[in-house]
């Protein structure tokens, strides 16, 4: 099925916008027009609202308050270990960047058996977006150690 806007395919079914509590507050024109952390083009509420999660399986945009954007970690795949020896001992302290021009934040990285990556942030981190890249740097923030594609936030 094609959208009326051109060649982008649309998922059939409801295009719901819900709050983190599950309350339906509107509809959307396709999940491709949204990213986690976005504020614009969202239904009005009792204060600023942000996209907190995008669920492609149900074609749903979940919105919430700024304090609901934070997560404790992420799972990533398509891992590219530039310095694999730095991860050989197991849990490795790193600086992680989840957005372009973002300040790197302290985290602990573990390379999984399936060649994926588990990253635990030292403090909750906002707007971790599946499909975007995470870059792992040494603790001095000078050397890139690895990169991966974010699969989910936790």
What would the pLDDT profile of 79-120 be if each residue is shown by its tens digit?
A: 999 999 999 999 999 999 998 888 999 999 999 988 899 999
What is the predicted pLDDT for the residue at 1?
41
- State yes or no: pLDDT of 6 exceeds 70: no
What is the predicted pLDDT for the residue at 4?
43
Counting every residue written for the chain, the total comes to 154
Is this model's pTM higher than 0.85 or not? no
Residue 59 backbone zone (phi > 0: left; psi -120 to 50: alpha; other: beta): left
The tokens for 143 are: 């050397």
Question: What's the 3-state SS for the chain?
Answer: CECCCCCCECCCCCCEEEECCCCEEEECCCHHHCCCCCCCCCCCCCCCCEEEEEECCCCEEEEECHHHCEEEEEEEEEEEECCHHHHCCCCEEEEEECCCCCCCEEEEEEECCCCCEEEEEEEEEECCCCCCEEEEECCCCCCEEEEEEEEEEC
- In this predicted model, what pLDDT tens digit does every residue of 12-61 receive, in sequence order? 566 899 999 999 999 998 888 898 888 888 888 888 999 988 888 899 99
């Amino acid at each position: 099925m094609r959208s009326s806007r051109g060649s982008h395919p649309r998922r059939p079914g409801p295009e719901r916008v819900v709050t983190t509590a599950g309350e339906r507050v509107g509809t959307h024109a396709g999940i491709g027009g949204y990213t986690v952390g976005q504020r614009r083009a969202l239904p009005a509420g009792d204060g600023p609202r942000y996209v907190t999660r995008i669920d492609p399986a149900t074609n749903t945009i979940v919105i919430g308050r700024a304090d609901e954007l934070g997560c404790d970690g992420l799972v990533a795949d398509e891992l590219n270990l530039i310095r694999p020896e730095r991860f050989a001992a197991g849990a490795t302290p790193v600086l992680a960047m989840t957005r372009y021009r973002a300040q790197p934040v302290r985290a602990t990285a573990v390379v999984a058996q399936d060649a994926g990556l588990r990253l635990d942030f030292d403090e909750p981190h906002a707007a971790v977006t599946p499909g975007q890249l995470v870059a792992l740097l040494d603790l001095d923030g000078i050397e890139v150690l690895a990169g991966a594609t974010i699969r989910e936030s936790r």
